[in-house]
């Protein structure tokens, strides 16, 4: 019966040790690390923000990550049924569903941005990207047209194809190949960017902190991003946790995933900031940073078309491994809820997600503007509601659940008694209070 028994009884429905770590890193490392992280770091002042992000990742992110993995393995179900089983209370199913809904929403527009990166890889390798020097116009024309829908469809199909192949021969295999491959690409690009003339200024912007730039808002934004970057609050790590063997150490896995995510953000920063500064560009451009600013740099460097192409492929790969995890959350739910096969669950969920994503694909560039209201496009609304509202709410729910409600968290998390106390204290008090702060920013009570 669905994901529950698939996780328990069937080897093909279970991750290997290494496979779980790769899949969880694959989920964590994504557009968050390489598209969002650089532009918010640019916006909130560089190195000091990065440092706060690291602290949030370790102090709050890791404990919540471990909590989610433990809930999944303990409950052996999807993000909703796991909590029902562990608490014995039906009401938790509704709370769990919030994050399933959230990850479905993220998936719908995430596939759109992942599609842009594929298009940009194509444009860069073929040299078409460099036919004009006005990269702002190139980007604007692209997202304002209908091509994004084509690429969105490609991403949804690729993701569905991987998820349909199941846990060990689909998700695990895909991540085991691509995640190590990603490191190789990253290192090539880090070497390229660090050897550019004038790279030093970018390195110090990224690594030499100026604490006068730090505001309370920046701290909460860093925390919100640590959650997004670790794929927390969206049921992903609960869902993946259900496929983990009882023999694997979850605290070890959480540590590996946290460090892996940090490493990719660090390397991404070492690519983007030196490149941006070496060409006298501004790192504060917002969402267009990698699509508008970096092509300027690629067009001016030797072999830029190749480096640009590699960079966008890297972004696409990172995005796909995250998209796979987002889709799996909904698929695990559908399989268990309606007792359907994986294949059926994947294709129904995939098709609906594609349709729900269409307005995102078309609204962001202004092709369809009746969907834009309140100063935000439909795309921005989806991003805001899922990443800034549902995600912290989902995070709050899981911390309260593992900290206060579920009594078996101790056995599942395999921590020493001392670390267990630290963990529980964080889940009970520190994480919830800070996450409420993140929600107050979203509600506009604390201004950005
Ligand atoms: N962690 C992913 C990234 O950094 C995004 C994500 C968020 C994936 C939430 C799953 C759940 O891009």
Q: Tell me the DSSP string of 310-344.
A: HHHHHHHHHHHHHHHHHHHHHHHHHHHHHT--HHH
Q: Residue written as tokens 């698929």?
A: 331
Cα 11 to averaged position of ligand 1 atoms, centre (Å): 27
The minimum-distance atom of ligand 1 relative to the CA of 31 is 12
3-state helix, strand, coil in the chain (%, to 5): 80, 0, 20
Q: Which helix (H) or strand (E) covers residue 179, if one does?
A: helix 173-194
Q: Tell me the DSSP string of 117-134.
A: HHHHHHHHHTTGGGG-S-
The minimum-distance atom of ligand 1 relative to the CA of 33 is 4
Those residues with Cβ within 8 angstroms of residue 126's Cβ, 6 or more apart along the chain or in another chain? none
Mutate to test the pocket of ligand 1, among 30, 53, 393 (most ligand atoms within 8 A of CB): 30
Cα 198 to averaged position of ligand 1 atoms, centre (Å): 32
User: What does DSSP assign to residue 3?
Assistant: H
Whole-number Cα distances in Å, 425 to 2, 432, 433: 34, 10, 12
Contact 50, 206 (CB under 8 A): yes
Contact 57, 230 (CB under 8 A): yes
pLDDT of 12: 66
Cα 418 to averaged position of ligand 1 atoms, centre (Å): 31
What ipTM goes with this model? 0.98
Pocket of ligand 1 (CB under 6 A): 27-28, 30-33, 103, 106, 228-229, 231, 234, 236, 322, 325-326
Mutate to test the pocket of ligand 1, among 33, 64, 113, 231 (most ligand atoms within 8 A of CB): 231
Cα 238 to averaged position of ligand 1 atoms, centre (Å): 14
Mutate to test the pocket of ligand 1, among 23, 25, 26, 27 (most ligand atoms within 8 A of CB): 27
> What three-state secondary structure class fits 376?
strand
pLDDT of 282: 84
Cα 322 to averaged position of ligand 1 atoms, centre (Å): 6
Task: Give the closest residue to 247 by CA, choosing from 5, 11, 1, 441.
Answer: 11
Cα 101 to averaged position of ligand 1 atoms, centre (Å): 14
Cα 387 to averaged position of ligand 1 atoms, centre (Å): 9
Strands (E) located in 285-427? none
Mutate to test the pocket of ligand 1, among 228, 229, 258 (most ligand atoms within 8 A of CB): 228
Whole-number Cα distances in Å, 212 to 47, 185, 204, 284: 11, 35, 15, 17
Cα 197 to averaged position of ligand 1 atoms, centre (Å): 33
The minimum-distance atom of ligand 1 relative to the CA of 28 is 1
> What three-state secondary structure class fits 293?
helix
Cα 142 to averaged position of ligand 1 atoms, centre (Å): 24
Contact 137, 325 (CB under 8 A): no
- Measure the CA–CA gap between 224 and 57, rounded to whole angstroms: 10
- Residue 422: burial class (beta carbons within 10 Å; 0-12, 13-18, 19+): middle
Q: Residue written as tokens 């890889």?
A: 121
Phi-psi region of 415 (alpha: psi -120 to 50; beta: other; left: phi over 0): beta
Q: Residue written as tokens 């969002």?
A: 36
Cα 349 to averaged position of ligand 1 atoms, centre (Å): 18
pLDDT by residue for the chain (448 residues), tens only, comes to 344 444 444 566 899 999 999 999 999 999 999 888 988 998 888 999 999 999 999 999 999 999 999 999 999 999 999 999 999 999 999 999 999 999 999 999 999 999 999 999 999 999 999 999 899 999 999 999 999 999 999 999 999 999 999 999 999 999 999 999 999 989 999 999 999 999 999 999 999 998 888 888 899 899 999 999 999 999 999 999 999 999 999 999 999 999 999 999 999 999 999 999 999 988 877 777 889 888 988 998 888 999 999 999 999 999 999 999 999 999 999 999 999 999 999 999 999 999 999 999 998 877 777 777 788 889 889 989 999 999 999 999 999 999 999 999 999 998 999 999 999 999 999 999 999 999 998 888 777 6
pLDDT of 160: 98
Mutate to test the pocket of ligand 1, among 24, 229, 241, 383 (most ligand atoms within 8 A of CB): 229
Q: Tell me the DSSP string of 8-64.
A: HH-GGGS--HHHHHHHHHHHHSSHIIIIIHHHHHHHTTTHHHHHHHHHHIIIIIHHH
Cα 176 to averaged position of ligand 1 atoms, centre (Å): 18
User: What does DSSP assign to residue 258?
Assistant: H
- Measure the CA–CA gap between 5 and 173, rounded to whole angstroms: 21
Take atom 4 of ligand 1 and give the residue whose Cα is closest. Answer: 32
pLDDT of 8: 45
Phi then psi dihedrals of residue 376, to 5 deg: -130, 145
Q: Which domains does the chain have, with CATH numbers?
A: 2-442 (1.20.1740)
Whole-number Cα distances in Å, 218 to 159, 207, 265: 33, 16, 17
- Measure the CA–CA gap between 273 and 39, rounded to whole angstroms: 10
The minimum-distance atom of ligand 1 relative to the CA of 30 is 12
CA angle in degrees (0–180, nearest 5) for 237-432-242: 15
């Amino acid at each position: 019966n669905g994901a529950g028994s698939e996780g328990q009884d069937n080897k093909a429905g279970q991750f290997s040790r290494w496979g779980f770590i790769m899949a969880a890193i694959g989920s964590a490392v994504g557009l968050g690390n390489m598209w969002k992280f650089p532009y918010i770091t640019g916006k909130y002042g560089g190195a000091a923000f990065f440092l706060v992000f690291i602290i949030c990742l370790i102090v709050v992110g890791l404990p919540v990550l471990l909590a989610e993995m433990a809930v999944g393995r303990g409950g052996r179900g999807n993000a909703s049924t796991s909590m029902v089983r562990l608490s014995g209370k039906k009401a938790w199913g509704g709370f769990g569903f919030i994050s399933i809904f959230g990850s479905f929403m993220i998936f719908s527009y995430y596939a759109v941005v992942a599609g842009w990166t594929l298009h940009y890889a194509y444009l860069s390798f073929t040299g078409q990207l460099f036919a004009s020097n006005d990269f702002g116009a190139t980007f604007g024309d692209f997202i304002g047209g209908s091509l994004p829908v084509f690429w969105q469809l490609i991403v949804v199909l690729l993701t569905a194809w991987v998820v349909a192949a199941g846990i060990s021969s689909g998700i695990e295999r895909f991540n085991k190949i691509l995640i190590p491959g990603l490191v190789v690409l990253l290192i090539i690009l880090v070497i390229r960017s660090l050897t550019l003339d004038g790279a030093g200024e970018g390195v110090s912007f990224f690594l030499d902190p100026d604490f006068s730039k730090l505001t309370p808002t920046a701290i909460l934004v860093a925390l919100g991003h640590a959650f997004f970057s670790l794929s927390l609050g969206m049921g992903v790590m609960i869902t993946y946790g259900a496929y983990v063997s009882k023999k694997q150490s979850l605290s070890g896995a959480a540590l590996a995933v946290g460090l892996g995510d940090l490493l990719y953000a660090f390397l991404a920063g070492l690519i983007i900031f030196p490149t941006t500064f070496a060409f006298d560009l501004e790192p504060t451009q917002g969402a267009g940073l990698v699509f508008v600013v970096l092509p300027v740099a690629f067009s001016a460097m030797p072999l830029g078309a190749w480096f640009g192409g590699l960079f966008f492929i890297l972004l696409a790969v990172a995005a796909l491994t995250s998209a796979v995890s987002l889709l799996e959350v909904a698929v695990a739910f559908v399989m268990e809820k309606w007792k359907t096969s994986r294949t059926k669950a994947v294709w129904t969920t995939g098709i609906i997600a594609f349709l729900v994503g269409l307005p995102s694909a078309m609204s962001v560039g202004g092709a369809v503007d009746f969907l834009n209201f309140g100063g935000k496009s439909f795309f921005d609304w989806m991003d805001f509601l899922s990443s800034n509202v549902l995600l912290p709410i989902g995070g709050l729910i899981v911390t309260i659940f593992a900290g206060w409600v579920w009594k078996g968290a101790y056995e599942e998390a395999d921590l020493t008694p001392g670390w267990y106390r630290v963990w529980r204290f964080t889940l009970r008090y520190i994480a919830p209070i800070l996450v409420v702060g993140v929600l107050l920013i979203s509600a506009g009570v604390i201004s950005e």
